[in-house]
Structure formats: structure tokens, C-alpha cells
Structure 1
Amino acid sequence: MDDATTTKRKRPVIRFNDLPTDILIGIISRLPIKEAARTSILSSHWKKIWCSHVNLEFSFYSMSPRLASTSHDARLRMKMFIERVSQVFAQHSGLSVQKIAIQGKLDNEHADHINRWLSFVSATKTKDLTFDFKSRYPREGPYDFPFKFFGAMDSSYLLSMRLSAVSLNPPVDFKAFLNLKRLKLEHTNITDENMQILISNCNALEFLGIVDCGKLTRLSTSHLWNQLKHLHVESCHLLKEIELNLGLTKLGYKGTLIPLSPPGPLLLTNVCMKLQHARSSLGYIFTNLPSTLLHLETLSLQCSELERAILPENHIKFMYLKHLRLQLRHPVTEKKIDLLDFACLLEAAPLLQKFELHMWMPLHHQRYREEAHGELRSLPPQPHAHLRLVHISGFIGMKDQLELSLHILRNSAMIRAMKVDPKPLFALPCISMLSPLEGFQYLDGYEVAIEYLCREDHNNVVDVSEIRREEVETLSVCELVYPDCVRLTRKANSSS
């Protein structure tokens, strides 16, 4: 090969510093702000680059040095954290800021500093704001969010806001956040009246999240009409009623059983309910869910199963429901339920494609034996033409568990897979509630599933998670259910 050809094929060398400034800013903005600031020592050019970081995220734990645990040292750490955040804002160019997130145990004692940071938010037209000030311990008082920084015009750029552990008292004539699309409030002091004032102007709001707001007693989103698509409400213990808007398509709720008041037929397609103090999942589905959920496609329900539901003769049907997920817990000594009742769900959801049934019933383990429990019951045929995927966990071989599983298997003509797991992977409230002897219940569930379900499986669709006796006898129940979690915990403890 001659020299001319070699020269022709030789590629030019492009150095990192030769890249356009906007590309360098995009790269540096993917780094945590602490790491990005370190690039300033490279050159004066790089100092300008990091000062244009578009995602300014500050965490107290990552940006303040670890000192002793005395109250004096805690105050010193907070002072250093505040100084570092303020220094970054002071050096920043103020251009093209997309996100500002500050996480730390701040309260009204630090209001002067936080107010200056909010001035920076306003001046830079930041699009995404997060203030996460929650703490485990009592403090002087939550930060009183200053609505005076946000008028109709100078808040129009803000698209997403998350506020945690602050106090919200908007003035009656408050007019701002006109273009806000996402709002999440956590551990926040806000009354019913102030909530309505706050969201009444959010005409573009698409997501509203409310978590542990202890003063709320009633929530109404009906005035938002078709804009609000996703509502998530969790652990608001005084809340008594939620009035939904017509355009809502996704609802998530965790708390006590309360009425949902729709003004008319809803467009809801996805509902996730985690109910406290509810006594029957079937009772809730057929008597408490609004009958106006005409378009429901996905329903996830978690509750305790404490009593057998008395269902109406002509119960409602969910004509569009495609995915049903139930998480059932029955942690009481007297069993009052019959899982075979859940067979009615096949009739109630004729287009159902995926069914998940996750159980935790540790106090009622009676492995099915024909000589002790009699012949297995069977219901009249209920052919289902759409059910394809079934996932059952917490299967410990009880008679009614087996009868329901067999009913589903026999009546689902299009079923492709039925996964059966004896372990309570999803319905278990917490790992500390596991009983030391539960492992033997999993073994019984495995053996019953192999003996009866697999024998009835003519299309090779049943997949039973294996439980080995030697593992049950040698491993703890926590290791059986969550082996990866236990392994990581041991690794972390050994390294520390």
C-alpha cells in the first residue's frame, strides 16, 4: 500500500474539547452535580461548561461530610450543605435549567436560604422543581412555601413540581401554575380549602399525587374535567371522600375504604386499590367499585380477606377488563372465606386475558387430602375464550385453592401459561411476618400442585415453582422466599 492511500484513509483526531459547547453541556449534565463541579479544575473552559449544568440535584447525604452524630455536628453538616447549594447557584450561568431538586432535612428555620433558592428557580425559568424536606424526627416547623414568588406569568414555565414536608397556604386570589402538568405533595400540611385553591388554576394538570397529607378530609378533582389523567392518593388518614373528574384514566389509592364519587360515566381504564380495613375483595369489586367504570381494562386490588362476601344475583360485568391482579391476605385464626367463590370473576370479565392471584394465608394451612377433606368440588362449566396467562402465588395446597385453580385450568380454552408458586411473593405485608415453619407449607403446596394440577394439565401449560425438602430443612424461611434480598443483606453487613 503506497503512502498516498495511507494518508487518504487516515482519520482526523477529534479531541473531547473540540466538541460543541452544547454537546459538552449535555454530557456534563448527566453527571451528579458534585462530580460535574470537579471538572472545573481542568481549564477555564470547563469551568464555564459545568456552570451550565441543566439538572441541579442536591442530596444532603451525598453533599455533606459524615461527622459524629451529636446535635452540634448535625447542625454543622446542614450549614455546610446549605453553603454548597448556595455556592452552586451563585456560580451557575442561569441558562437552560431544566430541573432543580433539593433533598435534605430543611424546615422553616432555613427559610431565608430556601427563599433565595426559589428566587433562582424563578429567575432561571426552571421546568421541574423538587423540594424534599422530610425527616424522621420532630423539627421546628415545616417550611412555609412562599407563593409570592410565583405569579401567573413568572410561573408559566414550571411543568412539574414535587413538594415534601412543607406547609402550603396559598392566598385566596392565587393565580399561578397555569402550565403545570405534574404535581406531587408528600407529608404536606394542606387543608381542603387550600388544596382547592392550589389546583383550581392548574388547567394543564395531568398527574396529581397526594401522599400522607394528614389534614385532608375531602378531595375533589371534578373541576379539572378532562385534563387530569392520573390521580394517586396514599395514606391520607382523615380523607373521607374523593370526587373524581370525568377525564381521569388512571387511579391509584392506598388507605381506608372510602366512597369514590364520579359525576358520571368515567373514562378510567386503570385502577389500583390498596385497601385498609376492607373485609372482602369480591365484596368491594361487586358492591363498592363505581358502576360507572365502563371502560376499565386493568384492576389491581390489595386487601385483607376477612369474611365471605354475599354477592348480588345479577352482579355487574366488566366488559373491557383485560388484566386483574388480586393480593389477598387472611391473617386471622378462623377461616371464613371460600376461594372457589372467585370463579365468578371469569364470568364477570369475559374478555380477561391475564389473571394474577397472590395470597398469604399462613394460619389456615390444611393440605388437601381426599380422605380428610372429601372429594374436590367442581362448578358447572364456564368456558372462557380469552384468558391466556394465570399467575398464582401463595399456593399452599388448601382444598379451595386447588379447586379454584382446577376450575380456571379446565375452563380456559386459550390459556398459554399457568404459573403456580407456593411462596407468598407479592401478598406478604413484610418479611418479618414470616413464620419459621412456613417453608413446610410451601413444600405441601408444591406437592399438591404436582399431583393434581399437573395431572389435569393436558396442554403442558402449568409451571410449578420447585420447592425442595432439603432446602426447607436447611434454609430459613426468609432465604426461601427472598434469597437475593438475604444475600445482599449479609454482604452489606459483612462489608461494614
Structure 2
Amino acid sequence: MSFKQSSEPSQKPRLQQNRIPLKRLHAELMTKKARHISEDAPEKKENLEDWFSRFPDDILIHIISGLTLKEAARTSVLSSRWKYLWTFTTSLDFDKKVKYMSFPPDYKQSKYISWVNKVLELHRGSRINQFRICFRLDAKHKCNITNWVSTAIAKNVRNFELDLSPGTYDNYYEIPQECYKNLQSGCGLSGIKSLRSLTLCAVNVTGEVVEFFIHNCPLLENLRITQSPDLLSLKVVGSSIPLKCLDIQFCYSIKEIEISAPNLLSFKYIGQDINLHVGSLPQLVDVVFHVTPMVQKMHCIGSIVSYLPQLKTLELDGCNEVFAQFSQREFPKLMNLNISFTAANQETLLGLSFIMKACPFLEKLVLQVNILVDYIQVEKFEIVIILVEAC
């Protein structure tokens, strides 16, 4: 058993990719060069650029796409052939939230926008594997943001993330109606056919817009929406929907979610009380569910109780009402259980014992305990219990 104290929530998930440090790349090239060059044959010696340039452009661009934008741009000094290769990179990750932290907001935003516009102006590639905007922007930057969205779609983006958090209250960016109409046209539809992952943070979208992407992106597997005040309801229903992961967080205006998707593996919801309607979810194995206020939890979670026997991972808020709902059921496949308590007491822990009895193959139990003083959270403890030792 291990104890871990935490004062901050875990960081938001982000798109991951392999990064190749430029120094490591250079060292590997030098090693390969030494291996192929004999000291007693000086006439066969070639400089590093000539040796490495034997690779076709596609391979070099693939290597460059594993670098950060800053590292990729540095390769332009290697030789005349390399000068513009970086502009064909398929990875455009514009993450600079920390870089200008000590400067005024307007200056930071101006520098960030100039950087993105400059790179997109130079970019020559016809396709983009990853496009990521990660900076605090809002509706006053509407023109630039819309141009970025249009550029990414025109280049058949596969993984798209627009993270403008924390945004500006009552001034979130929203996709203009004209841009939405363009998406519905022939060119727009062809541009989103390659989309596999879509993340929108601090972006105002309606249920109509989200459902448009769900039903018109035949490869879309991951969808994440956070901080969208205009999202009032969402319907994810269809036998041909390829969606595997659905993540809805902090959309405090949403009242209703309906889900019936045969390929869905993971569902995450964090927010206020909603009407949750669940249809066919034969492959659902991972559920994260946190709802406030606490007294309304059972109203929401009752819809997914029938799917609990097939779950492998479950995370939710714990209270006696929740435990009572589960006390007569079994969880034959559940391996990871994460429960959050507020001011845990003897009764709550007794209720937890009912779930433990119903989980014969549980491998890991995580208890997050929130201690309140005058209704203010002052401390958060995490208790991790490993029930099965790794082989």
C-alpha cells in the first residue's frame, strides 16, 4: 500500500508523439558515418550531409516530423537540400503556453499568432498528421483561428486539437457559420474524411456541430470536448459510428447525452447533473464519471449500471447511495477501480466493502480522499492499493 498527497488535479491529456532530440540524431548519424568510412581510404570519405542525403525525401521528412517545430527548423542549415525539407513536416504542434509567461497577455498572444502564421505560410506539405493549437486565445482572434482551422482541414489533417483554454468567459471562440457551411460542402467534407482525433477546448460548439463531425468523419475514433458553454445536448447514436473514445468535461450548460455506439470503448464525463440515455454499448470497458452536486449521482449513473459487469476500469465519486446500487451486482472483469470520497467516514468505508466483495479480479484500487473544512477543500490524499503483484 502506498500513500501519495496531491494538491493539484492531474494535467489534461494531450496528443502524444515520439520526439527525437536533434543532438541524439546528430550523434547517431556521426556513428553511422564512422562505421562506413575507412581511414585508409580517404578518397571514399564523404561529408555527413552527402551520406545522409542518400535517403529519399519521404524518409527525411518522416524523420523531421518526429522533431519539435523548433528542432525541425534548425535542420535547414545542414545543406541546401535540407533548407526547405522541414516545411514539409506532417507534425505542426504549436504549444507555447509557458514560453511568454512573464510578458503581458497582448504581447504573448501577438507573438504566438505571428509564429503560427509564419510557419503556416512556409509550410509546403499537402497533408498534416498532427495539428495542435495550444494557447490562451478567444473570439477577438477569430480571423486568425478560423484561417488555421481552414488550413488544417484543407491539408487533410488526421489529429486536430484546438486548445484555447482557459479562454475568456463569455468570449469563447466559436466556428463561424460561414466556415461551418464550407465544411458541409464537397471540399470541406473531403478535408475531414481523414480526421481520426478531434479535441476542442474552450471552443463554443453546439450539439449540431459536434454531431456533424461524428457522422461525417468515417475514421473519427477520439472525440474530446471541454469548456463549451453552447453545448446543450449531444446525441452519439448510430450503428456505423467508428467512435471509440468520448470525453466530455466542464460543459456546464449541457442537459442531456444519448449514447448508442457499438465501437465505443471509453466514456468520460465530468460536469453537472445530466440526463444520460444509454443504448447499445457492447464494447464499453472504461468509464470515468464525476458529477456534481453529489446527491444527484445516482440519477446519472443509473443508466450505465447494466454495463458494469463488462467494465475493466471504473472511476467515480463514492457515497453510500452509489454503493447500495452496486451491492447486489458482480464485476467479474473489473481490474482497476478509482473512487473519490469527500470526508470519508466509517459508513462510507463500510459501503466500499460491498464493492470489494463484488470484484473478485480487482488488481488496483485507488482511493482519493478530500478533507473539507467549512465546505472548503483544503487537502487531498490518494491511497493506492495494489491487490495483485506484477509478474
TM-score higher than 0.5: yes
Deviations, residues 80-134 of structure 1 (Å, cap 9, x unaligned): 4333332322223234433332333334433443444445434433333333333
Question: How many angstroms apart in 1 are the aligned matches of 2:280 and 2:82?
Answer: 58
Q: 1:107 to 1:266 in 2, by over 3 A?
A: same
1:150 aligns with 2:183: yes
On the 8 A contact 2:97/2:136 being kept in 1, the answer is no
Question: How many angstroms apart in 2 are the aligned matches of 1:263 and 1:60?
Answer: 41
Structure 2 counterpart of 1:315, one-letter code? Q
Question: How many angstroms apart in 2 are the aligned matches of 1:40 and 1:187?
Answer: 35
Deviation at 1:220? 1.5
Displacement over 4 Å in runs of 4+: 5-8, 10-14, 60-63, 65-68, 135-141, 155-158, 307-310, 361-364
- 2:60 is aligned, of 14, 21, 24, to 24
Q: 1:298 to 1:256 in 2, by over 3 A?
A: farther
Name 1:46's counterpart in structure 2: 82
Name 2:234's counterpart in structure 1: 219
Name 1:433's counterpart in structure 2: 379
Q: 1:184 to 1:78 in 2, by over 3 A?
A: closer
% identical equivalent positions? 22
Count how many residue pairs are aligned between Structure 1 and Structure 2. 340
Name 2:279's counterpart in structure 1: 263
On the 8 A contact 1:203/1:224 being kept in 2, the answer is no
Deviations, residues 439-476 of structure 1 (Å, cap 9, x unaligned): xxx9xx9xxxxxxxxxxxxxxx999xxxxxxxxxxxxx
Name 1:356's counterpart in structure 2: 365
Deviations, residues 35-85 of structure 1 (Å, cap 9, x unaligned): 33234344432212222222122234477x67753xxxx444433433333
- 2:330 is aligned, of 296, 317, 338, to 317
Question: How many angstroms apart in 1 are the aligned matches of 2:247 and 2:101?
Answer: 36
Name 2:316's counterpart in structure 1: 302
Deviation at 1:221? 0.7
Deviation at 1:325? 1.0
On the 8 A contact 2:136/2:166 being kept in 1, the answer is yes
Question: How many angstroms apart in 2 are the aligned matches of 1:328 and 1:112?
Answer: 42
Q: 1:352 to 1:284 in 2, by over 3 A?
A: farther
Question: How many angstroms apart in 1 are the aligned matches of 2:136 and 2:388?
Answer: 51
Q: 1:94 to 1:245 in 2, by over 3 A?
A: same
On the 8 A contact 1:41/1:47 being kept in 2, the answer is yes
Q: Spell out the pairing of 1:2-401 with structure 2 (5 A cutoff).
A: 15-19=48-52, 20=55, 21-61=57-97, 68-69=103-104, 74-137=105-168, 142-145=173-176, 146-151=179-184, 153-155=186-188, 177-223=192-238, 225-247=240-262, 248-264=264-280, 266-279=282-295, 288-293=302-307, 296-305=310-319, 307=320, 311=324, 315-318=328-331, 320-331=332-343, 335=345, 337-349=347-359, 351-360=360-369
The higher relative CO (CA closer than 8 Å, separation ≥ 6) is in 2
Deviation at 1:224? 5.4
Q: 1:331 to 1:82 in 2, by over 3 A?
A: same
Q: 1:235 to 1:267 in 2, by over 3 A?
A: same
Deviation at 1:236? 2.1
Name 1:165's counterpart in structure 2: none
Question: How many angstroms apart in 2 are the aligned matches of 1:252 and 1:13?
Answer: 55
Question: How many angstroms apart in 2 are the aligned matches of 1:249 and 1:325?
Answer: 16
Structure 2: gaps of 5 or more residues: 1-37
Question: How many angstroms apart in 1 are the aligned matches of 2:338 and 2:369?
Answer: 11
SS in 2 for 1:51: helix
SS in 2 for 1:83: helix
- Radius of gyration: which is bigger? 1
On the 8 A contact 1:256/1:278 being kept in 2, the answer is no
State the superposition RMSD in angstroms: 4.2
Structure 2 counterpart of 1:331, one-letter code? A
Question: Normalization by structure 2: what TM-score?
Answer: 0.69
Question: How many angstroms apart in 1 are the aligned matches of 2:120 and 2:326?
Answer: 66
SS in 1 for 2:352: helix
Q: 1:101 to 1:157 in 2, by over 3 A?
A: farther
Question: How many angstroms apart in 1 are the aligned matches of 2:184 and 2:61?
Answer: 30
SS in 1 for 2:62: helix
Q: 1:322 to 1:128 in 2, by over 3 A?
A: closer
Name 1:422's counterpart in structure 2: none
Question: How many angstroms apart in 2 are the aligned matches of 1:62 and 1:179?
Answer: 31
Question: How many angstroms apart in 2 are the aligned matches of 1:223 and 1:152?
Answer: 22
Structure 2 counterpart of 1:188, one-letter code? V
Q: 1:11 to 1:257 in 2, by over 3 A?
A: farther
Structure 1: gaps of 5 or more residues: 159-176, 365-428, 446-460, 464-496
Question: How many angstroms apart in 2 are the aligned matches of 1:15 and 1:106?
Answer: 43
Deviation at 1:276? 2.6
Question: How many angstroms apart in 2 are the aligned matches of 1:327 and 1:85?
Answer: 41
Question: How many angstroms apart in 2 are the aligned matches of 1:309 and 1:103?
Answer: 37
Deviations, residues 411-462 of structure 1 (Å, cap 9, x unaligned): xxxxxxxxxxxxxxxxxx97x426xxx9xxx9xx9xxxxxxxxxxxxxxx99
SS in 1 for 2:66: coil
Deviation at 1:253? 1.6
Deviations, residues 241-274 of structure 1 (Å, cap 9, x unaligned): 3211141222112223444322346432222222
On the 8 A contact 1:276/1:303 being kept in 2, the answer is no
Q: Which has the higher strand share?
A: 2
SS in 1 for 2:270: strand
Query: Which stretch shifts more, 114-123 or 21-30?
Result: 114-123
On the 8 A contact 1:200/1:224 being kept in 2, the answer is no
